[in-house]
């Protein structure tokens, strides 16, 4: 069964996603990031610029051919169907990602914005009602400690 974790209270989802993807990439974990097109474009840009001394190889399903997708440790996808690997799925979006259950792990990112928090509660309920154990990470509490 897919491991589900919620990371709550981040002031900047895209910046947090960059750090999360970098950590996973360094550990050799393959990641798919899903969400709305504007968030994925912001993440793509940020992955190129957030750290001047390192590059995180990544591609977008809409722009890459099959060989590039298979070789990329980080794949950005508006919908995670048809992606080449199923280790970790990071959801930047407001809805339950279609096909999340094919992944070993699902990480839900939730900002401080009220609308985002409301959508996250609905996703939490969706997973809980289907029997998924959920791990909660409060970013503000962790960074404040």
What is the tens place of the pLDDT at every residue in 92-134?
999 999 999 999 999 999 999 999 999 999 999 999 999 999 9
Give the domain 3-144 fold. Rossmann fold (3.40.50)
* Residues 6 or more apart whose Cβ sits within 8 Å of residue 32: 74, 75, 76, 77, 80, 83, 85, 86, 88, 89, 90, 103
Phi, then psi, of 109 in degrees rounded to 5: -105, 130
The yes-or-no verdict on residue 145 having pLDDT over 70 is no
Average pLDDT of the chain is 93
Q: Alpha helices, DSSP H only, in the chain?
A: 13-26, 37-49, 66-71, 114-129, 139-144
Tell me the C-alpha distance between 100 and 96, whole Å: 8
What pLDDT shows up at residue 90?
A: 98
CA 128 from chain centre, in angstroms, equals: 19
Tell me the C-alpha distance between 22 and 16, whole Å: 10
Shortest CA distance to 89 belongs to which of 101, 131, 58, 127? 101
* Residues 6 or more apart whose Cβ sits within 8 Å of residue 19: none
Of residues 117 and 62, which shows the higher confidence score?
A: 117
Top mean pLDDT of 45-49, 52-56, 63-67 is at 45-49
pTM over 0.85: yes
């Amino acid at each position: 069964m897919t491991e589900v974790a919620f990371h709550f209270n981040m002031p900047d989802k895209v910046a947090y996603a960059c750090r999360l993807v970098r950590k996973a990439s360094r550990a050799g974990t393959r990641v798919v990031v899903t969400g709305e097109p504007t968030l994925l474009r912001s993440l793509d840009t940020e992955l190129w610029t957030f750290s001047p001394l390192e590059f995180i190889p990544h591609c977008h399903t809409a722009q890459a051919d099959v060989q590039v997708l298979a070789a990329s440790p980080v794949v950005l996808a508006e919908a995670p169907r048809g992606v080449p690997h199923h280790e970790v799925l990071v959801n930047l979006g407001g809805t339950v990602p279609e096909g999340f259950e094919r992944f070993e792990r699902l990480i839900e990112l939730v900002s401080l914005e009220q609308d985002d928090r409301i959508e996250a509660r609905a996703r939490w309920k969706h997973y809980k009602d289907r029997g998924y154990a959920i791990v909660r990470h409060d970013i503000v509490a962790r960074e404040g400690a």
